[in-house]
Amino acid sequence: MVKIAEQENFDEKILGIVAKGKRNPVGVEELSRKLKVAKGDQDAFEKRLTRLVEAGELYYKRRGFVLPKNEGLTAAEIVRVNSTYGFARPVGADGDLFIPGRGLMGSLPGDMVLLKTYPSRKEGSLGEGEVVSIAKAAACRFTGVVSRNQDFFEVVPDKMLGFPVRLVSGKANRYKEGDKVLCEIVSRGPRHYNHKARVIEVFGSSLKADNCAQSLIRLSDVNVDFPAVVSEAAEHINASGIHPKERENRLDLREEVIFTIDSADSKDLDDAVSVKKTAEGWELGVHIADVSYYVHPQSPLDNEAYERGTSIYYADRVIPMLPKALSNGICSLNEGEDRLAFSCLMKLDPTGTLISYDFQKTLIRSKVKGVYSEINAILAGEASPEIMEKYSAVMESIHLIDELCDLRLQKKRERGSLELVTCESKIILDENRDVKEIVPRGTGRSENIIEELMLLANESAATFALDKHLPFCFRVHEPPSPEKLQNLSELLGAIGQDKRGIQPGVSSLRLDEILQKVRGTKYQMIVNSQMLRTMSKAKYSEKNIGHFGLVLQNYAHFTSPIRRYPDLFIHRVMSAYLAGSGVERLSKRFGKVAGPTANQSSEREVVAMTIERDCEDCYKAEYILHHLGEEMEGVVSSTTNFGIYVMLPNTVEGLVRAQTLGDSFQYDGRMEYKDMLSPRRYRIGDTVTVKVMGADVSAGKIDFEFV
């Protein structure tokens, strides 16, 4: 008999036999006999059956198996539950099914279940379902706040679970009422109120955003600390410095006027620039830390960086992709220190059009650690004598890159690159790590300069890879979907804006025309908000499909290998090519890993962005907690069927719940609430006055009411 592991399409054979039985269960012995399973292979066979059951492909019924579809059942994953209802997403479907509380059978988010489905009772509503079987119970972990319920403790979950869960007593109850905790379900009952959980970790008071941020990071299974072997490897590399032979093998640019521009508190400086104006036009250098020289494939350092995918930034902290011995040490392009770089040396004509590029392994020495705010002051003519003295060695270059940036920005506008207005926040903490202030994170001239120069290097790297037919990891952005374009078109029509051409195939130039037309008007926030929702999510891919938002046929991420794994990956590919590896050899070495690397990096980027956003919400809620009862002016930023979001000038956003408006207000489903008994209405973009009613730091939620 052939062993299970050696049989082709074994799962399909199992499902085929069960399918022939229709609604008559097929037992384990019958399946084993028909499939000629060896006696020594019986355990492996039964494990295979268990996996099929857990995946929802088989249903165990009366001592045998049937196909779920033959029983009228649908495999689905529970995605959210509350005390009275839940939602399940059928396998392979985009939409969710509504599950009434009585039909949940105690299931929890992440559970794979089999459902009986029913048509919706209301036209236009979700279909409904009822859990018949929990095929595979998920390991349910969640964060929440400890609460006392008479003579026992329970935890009120932040998200995912919409009901309190009773806590089992441990050897020592280290938690107290009001603590932020990480829990896991340890006992399930037939109904949600029968479930019990235990506390895994206590973070401290739920009123402190720092504690809540730590719980979010812990729940996401993000590694904050590096394994000892990784830290030791990084320390050794940093202590070893640059090998003398490596200095000799590189293009020596240490005498060139090269400098970095970053925020004042940045320590991981992975890019530097240089510029010259010539009779033929411009010579521009973008010099990137040569991280791939130090981090070798499949090494402990590389494996850890791959798993992390990106650095995570929140408040004043960073969870780096690489240990600080590298990110802040030997790889950081620090002022006055020799550093290995991977340089993109470009030539542009007098109009700023790229003529050629050349990628070189270089040795550089940054002349100055430039700071955005200081260079902005120089360009605005407002710099102090001390700042002017600091930048004296690079002053000419600063004005040259400013001039070149004007040319590049003009080309950007001509091709229709989207200029979306976004509101980023800067969180300022005091010495006790309490939130002192929240302010908008401004973007000045020097930030725009660096962005444009990095875009040019990134585009050149992608073009280089395509020209040389290299296996690669591109940064791609698909055009908007027809459904999202329809929503945008309806909004534009509702506010009296020109919606012509807003249909599949619309150009980025047309969309940018709309943004420019409403800039500075009361409709700017409305249109920007809807435009952001219209855009697809940019991601990484081994296949180049272009970047819709930037209006570039070729694009990749080359300029941040300290904090983004795709950049490190493409550095590796390009370095191998420049070292003499042929395309065929490179395809064998990197071809099979380009796709998985792109997928992993895209997934980790989403995780990082979610953590950063959720942590920021907690800090904002802590800030507003100190302003309860105060009246503040803000702008209606968005509307939903459950209320109106209002954003304050400092970027803090809160919800005015629909029930606080009164029964006479009706929502139009798009952008405004209107009072049917008076002229009053609240529309996206309106300036309003709100009163701070409450803040839940743990959940990152803020409540306002209109004054």
User: Domain coordinates of the chain in residue numbers?
Assistant: 4-68, 72-136, 141-206, 228-475+546-612, 479-535, 627-706
**197-201, 337-341, 349-353, 689-693: least confident range:** 197-201
CA distance 358 to 179: 57
What's the confidence (pLDDT) of residue 305? 98
**79-93, 222-236, 301-315, 453-467: least confident range:** 79-93
Residue range 419-442: mean pLDDT, rounded = 90
Q: Is the CB of residue 697 less than 8 Å from the CB of residue 207?
A: yes
What's the confidence (pLDDT) of residue 102? 87
Greatest CA separation for the chain: 89
> What's the pLDDT tens digit per position in 560-599?
999 999 999 999 999 999 999 999 999 999 999 999 999 9
> What's the pLDDT tens digit per position in 241-276?
999 999 999 999 999 999 999 999 899 999 999 999
Which is more confident, 445 or 11? 445
CATH fold, domain 141-206, is: OB fold (Dihydrolipoamide Acetyltransferase, E2P) (2.40.50)
Tokens 């006696």 correspond to 39
Residue range 674-695: mean pLDDT, rounded = 94
What's the confidence (pLDDT) of residue 4? 56
What's the confidence (pLDDT) of residue 121? 65
552 forms bridges with which residues in the sheet? 547
Question: Which of 529, 457, 479, 543 is CA-nearest to residue 684?
Answer: 529
What's the confidence (pLDDT) of residue 529? 80
Tokens 């790297």 correspond to 461
Calculate ∠ Cα 394-367-327, nearest 5°. 130
* Residue 511 confidence class, pLDDT cut points 50, 70, 90: very high
Q: Model-level pTM? A: 0.87
What's the confidence (pLDDT) of residue 330? 97
CATH fold, domain 4-68, is: Arc Repressor Mutant, subunit A (1.10.10)
pLDDT over 70 percentage in the chain: 97
**92-96, 122-126, 536-540: least confident range:** 122-126
* Residue 123 confidence class, pLDDT cut points 50, 70, 90: low
Q: Is the CB of residue 252 less than 8 Å from the CB of residue 363?
A: yes
| Whether CATH 2.40.50.140 fits 627-706 | yes
pLDDT over 90 percentage in the chain: 69
Q: How many CB atoms lie within 10 A of CB 324?
A: 17
Domains 72-136 and 141-206 share a fold: yes
179 forms bridges with which residues in the sheet? 205
Residue 45 reports pLDDT greater than 70: yes
Residue range 84-99: mean pLDDT, rounded = 88
What's the confidence (pLDDT) of residue 422? 77
196 forms bridges with which residues in the sheet? 166, 187
> What's the pLDDT tens digit per position in 365-408?
999 999 999 999 999 999 999 999 999 999 999 999 999 999 99
Residue 7 reports pLDDT greater than 70: no
CA distance 545 to 557: 14
Instruction: List Cβ neighbours of 651 (8 Å cut-off, separation of 6 or more).
Output: 423, 424, 425, 438, 439, 440, 620
Which is more confident, 424 or 203? 203
* Residue 3 confidence class, pLDDT cut points 50, 70, 90: low
SS3 112: strand
Residue 122 reports pLDDT greater than 70: no
Which is more confident, 603 or 9? 603
Residue 6 reports pLDDT greater than 70: no
Q: Is the CB of residue 538 less than 8 Å from the CB of residue 476?
A: yes
Q: Is the CB of residue 326 less than 8 Å from the CB of residue 294?
A: yes
157 forms bridges with which residues in the sheet? 144
* Residue 33 confidence class, pLDDT cut points 50, 70, 90: confident
SS3 591: helix
In CATH terms, 72-136 corresponds, of 1.10.3720.10, 1.10.800.10, 2.40.50.140, 1.10.1270.20, to 2.40.50.140
Residue 124 reports pLDDT greater than 80: no
Q: Is the CB of residue 216 less than 8 Å from the CB of residue 615?
A: yes
* Residue 608 confidence class, pLDDT cut points 50, 70, 90: very high
Residue 626 reports pLDDT greater than 70: yes
CA distance 262 to 267: 9
Identity of the amino acid at 404: L
What's the confidence (pLDDT) of residue 62? 77
SS3 79: strand
Residue range 445-459: mean pLDDT, rounded = 96
Phi, psi torsion values for 433, nearest 5 degrees: 65, 30
In 231-353 the beta strands, taken as DSSP E runs, fall at: 251-252, 260-262, 271-278, 281-289, 312-314, 317-319, 338-348
Instruction: List Cβ neighbours of 386 (8 Å cut-off, separation of 6 or more).
Output: none
Tokens 């991280």 correspond to 291
